[in-house]
Amino acid sequence: MKEKIVLASPHMGGNEEKYVKEAFESNWIAPLGPQVDKFEEDIARYSGKKYAAALSSGTAAIHLALITLGVKKGDKVFCSDLTFAASCNPIVYQGATPIFIDSERESFNMSPIALEKAFKEHKPKAVIVVHLYGQSADMDKIKEICHREGVPIIEDAAESLGATYKDKMSGTIGRLGVYSFNGNKIITTSGGGVLISDEEDIIKKARFLATQAREPQRYYEHKELGFNYRLSNISAAIGRGQLEILEKRVAQKKHIYDTYKEGFKDIKEISMNPVCDYGSPNYWLSVMVIDKTSSITPLDVILALEEENIESRHVWKPMHMQPFFKEYPFYSSEEGDMSVGEDIFKRGLCLPSDTKMSEEDIQRVIKTIKKLWR
């Protein structure tokens, strides 16, 4: 069996162990602690947002974002349709109704046209904008619409830490931003997330709710429903080390993307996921899209790669096509029977984008795929 090539895996930089050792030496083997405080400062400084709350997952961060914005039972929340279920599950946790917004072809992200359509018929409490595979959505257009409607934006930047939109970091344009440090993301804490904002009261509230909504009393006092959503001091120590090498990982991911692009340039039926000129992506996952006219499907490619012990995956299946979410409203960006998200889902697949891959590994992926087109 050939050596396995994976989609994306944790890649330590070196200092993580040092910080974990600090945590051990001070016996801070607990949720919260000095590493968490430092990690929150590091994230705030890096992103340019004033405050950060380190949490147990990106999903928890989205959930607390909704709560702090007052999303309750019966409310509506708009959310990108082409995404991972973690973007919208917390809407349902709150008993609110998700309303799904189709993608645009230019960025694969939320279409301002579909967003306008949805606003004609609904008044949501918040809009969750996802930056897919590390490419930022076109935030100016989305922001203009949401601003006009007076609706706050939560940026689900779980996949786009390190990417930019114009001169800002992805995730810092909305009122609230979310990053994830799950094991497959560009950097990891082995599991974790963060909520960022310029509003101190929101972040303080998120920290409070994440620590069981425990009132500052000598006895245990609770006036609100709380959660156990805080990050552990050990995980935060890993995160501090990871953040130091984030830029390096972005450069490596870009190299992987560029190598695929170059490798497939003579095959007309293959294109790569879009890179928009209003910023730079973090290239978290490279996605190839097969032309409509081709007889080769993403599954053919996935199976051919599997034969060679290479991992690849379908693009996220749009939420409006999911059995669990199919009863909720959905707004398509184009006329016609197929939405943009569905079209991307049917023709796209995620290629190995692991920063531990060697040049030979990347070439092995390209060669295996090209064989199908011979």
Ligand X SMILES: *Cc1c(COP(=O)(O)O)cnc(C)c1O
Closest CA to 331 of 25, 86, 76: 76
- Active-site residue identified among 185, 205, 254, 356: 185
Return the H-helix or E-strand segment holding 206: helix 200-210
**Rounded to whole angstroms, how far apart are CA atoms 112 and 119?**
10
Question: What are the tokens at 116?
Answer: 């306008």
* Interacting residues toward ligand X by CB under 6 A: 57-59, 83-84, 86-87, 130, 156, 158-159, 180, 182, 193
Q: Is 185 a catalytic residue?
A: yes
Closest residue to ligand X, based on beta-carbon distance: 58
To ligand X, the closest distance from the beta carbon of 317 in angstroms equals: 13
- Asked whether the beta carbons of 131 and 216 are under 8 A apart, the reply is no
To ligand X, the closest distance from the beta carbon of 295 in angstroms equals: 31
To ligand X, the closest distance from the beta carbon of 185 in angstroms equals: 6
Give whole-number Cα distances, 133 to 46, 107, 126, 332, in Å.
20, 10, 22, 21
Alpha carbon 60 to its chain centroid, in Å, reads 13
193 or 241: whose CB is closer to ligand X? Answer: 193
- Asked whether the beta carbons of 314 and 302 are under 8 A apart, the reply is yes
- Asked whether the beta carbons of 160 and 281 are under 8 A apart, the reply is yes
Return the H-helix or E-strand segment holding 127: strand 126-130
To ligand X, the closest distance from the beta carbon of 148 in angstroms equals: 26
96 or 270: whose CB is closer to ligand X? Answer: 96
To ligand X, the closest distance from the beta carbon of 275 in angstroms equals: 18
**Rounded to whole angstroms, how far apart are CA atoms 65 and 206?**
8
104 or 159: whose CB is closer to ligand X? Answer: 159
245 or 315: whose CB is closer to ligand X? Answer: 315
Q: What does the DSSP 8-state code read for residue 101?
A: E
Give Dmax over CA atoms of the chain in angstroms: 73
Question: What are the tokens at 7?
Answer: 């989609």
78 or 84: whose CB is closer to ligand X? Answer: 84
Active site residues: 185
